[in-house]
Chains A and B, each alone.
Chain A
Amino acid sequence: MSAEMHTMVGAYALDALDHREQVAFEAHLASCPSCADELVGFRATAERLGDAVATAPPRRLRAAVLQQAARTSQERRVISMQRSDRWRRRMPMLVAAASVLAVVGLLGVYLVERDRLSDQQNQQEREAAVLAATDATTSSQRLGGGPRVKVIASRSMDSAVVVMHDVPPLQEGTNYQMWAVGDGGAKSLGVMAGDDLTEPTTRLVKGIRGADWVGITVEPEGGSKRPTSEPLIKVQLA
């Protein structure tokens, strides 16, 4: 079993495992120092493969990235350092393994399990954890030249980060409402008033596990129990 697992280190370093195998391999990694050693070299090799196809992005992307960063709050560093220390003590091998993503992924789960942060901090941590989740998938939808909605979803965390661009302004007395729609019908993921809209508007939502798609409707102020209009936009989840 262990020998078979060990051969997976190459495929893991190339992100060539499916999700289930990836999780299994990360668990194995914690107790396999030789896998961890090898992974360091393989990651560095993959970095060279990446470098070899470098091609500068368009100039405008730089401004977009920097502006977006300037508007975005960062994860609290002190907290993540404490956590990382804790992991270092508990799982020295894993940390030494340079398996950065495994650590980030595990931290994500860990962050969700812990509940001693204030709500706001917790929200930020959870959002970051969804983005870093090993099963996170990105789906997006654009309506002509109009609104764009991207959903980064982690079914294992039952959560998603919804990023909305160019959402039209709302009429007086109406709100946007997000829905997770699956076999069980439509479940509300939250309501947004016109004042909540920024560019982009980002929301962390919970309850997407069984959903096939996420949609946004216009609803009377305060939101509805069930959608009362056709979705403005639908994003099919991976």
Chain B
Amino acid sequence: MVEPVPLHAGDPDEPETPLSTLMVRVAKGDEGAFATLYDRTSAAVHGLTRRVVRDPARAEEITQEVYLQVWRMAGRYDPELGSAKGWLLTLAHRRAVDVVRHDQASTNREARYDWAGGPDVDVVDDEVMTRLEHEQVRRCLQTLTDLQRESVTMAYYGGHTYAQVSSLLEVNAATVKTRMRDGLIRLRDCLGVHQ
């Protein structure tokens, strides 16, 4: 079940079309560009969604929904506003979080969550770039304090609000909010994310 797609790294002789350029083409109705966009971003979109909802069928459903939304609204993407993949992941994350919170409202299953350790090894794709990315993120997560790390991962991977994190960890809500920001600052600097 390996996708026959080029890796992120690409071939130096054949530079990949930037995702932002693909988005412009998608906005003009270019189905080929849309297919390429899917090939290059669907592992991230699907993986994140699956991580949050923990249900393979729903993760597929959300992934499909997100790409349809991207197809329809590609014209709204503006490269000046950030990376195309970031845009896709934001759409996917919000949708996944909605689904999880809806489920939480109907069945209280919070006790089952335990994401504090960050990404699992077993859910990560066997592809080299992803593994490097994964290792770097894992290493950087370890540079956070326990509370920072738990706050960030329970929100991002677990789909919890800061208020939920606060009651799960029995820590003051304002503290959790602050730790989320502090944790992201530390993570951003460790990962060398350029603003």
Chain A positions within 8 Å of B, measured between CB atoms, are 7-11, 13-18, 37-38, 40-59, 61-62, 64-66, 68-70, 72-77, 80-81, 84, 95-96, 98-101, 103-104, 107, 128, 131-132, 136-140, 150, 152, 236, 238
Q: Select one of B102, B163, B165, B184 contacting A13, CB under 8 A.
A: B184
Chain B neighbourhood of A42, CB < 8 A: 184, 188
Please name all residues of chain A whose beta carbon is closer than 8 Å to the beta carbon of B195 when the two chains form the complex.
37, 40-41, 44
Least CB distance from B82 to A in Å reads 4
Per a CB cutoff under 8 Å, which of B61, B155, B157 touches A11? Answer: B155
B193 x A41 contact (CB < 8 A): yes
Decide: B94 and A101 in contact? CB cutoff 8 A: yes
User: What count of chain B residues pass the 8 Å CB interface test?
Assistant: 97
Query: With A41-B188, A57-B60 known to touch, is A10 a contact of B180 (CB < 8 Å)?
Result: yes
Chain A contacts of B136 at CB under 8 A? 48, 52
Residue of B nearest to A77 (CB): B75
B81 near A: Cβ within 8 Å? yes
The answer to whether A45 and B184 have CB atoms under 8 Å apart is yes
Is B43 located at the chain interface by the 8 A CB criterion?
yes
Q: Is the interface of A mostly helix, strand, loop or mixed?
A: helix
> Given the complex of chains A and B, what is the CA–CA distance between A73 and B31 in angstroms?
12
Q: Give, as a whole number of angstroms, the nearest-CB distance from A218 to chain B.
A: 26
In angstroms, Cα B138 to Cα A48, docked, is 11
> Is B102 a contact of A139 with CB atoms below 8 Å?
yes
Interface string of B90-114 (1 = CB under 8 A from A): 1111110111011001100000000
CB closest residue in chain B, given A59: B1
Cα separation A9 to B162 with both chains bound (whole Å): 12
If A45-B187, A48-B191, A74-B75 touch, whether A53 touches B162 (CB-CB below 8 Å) is: no
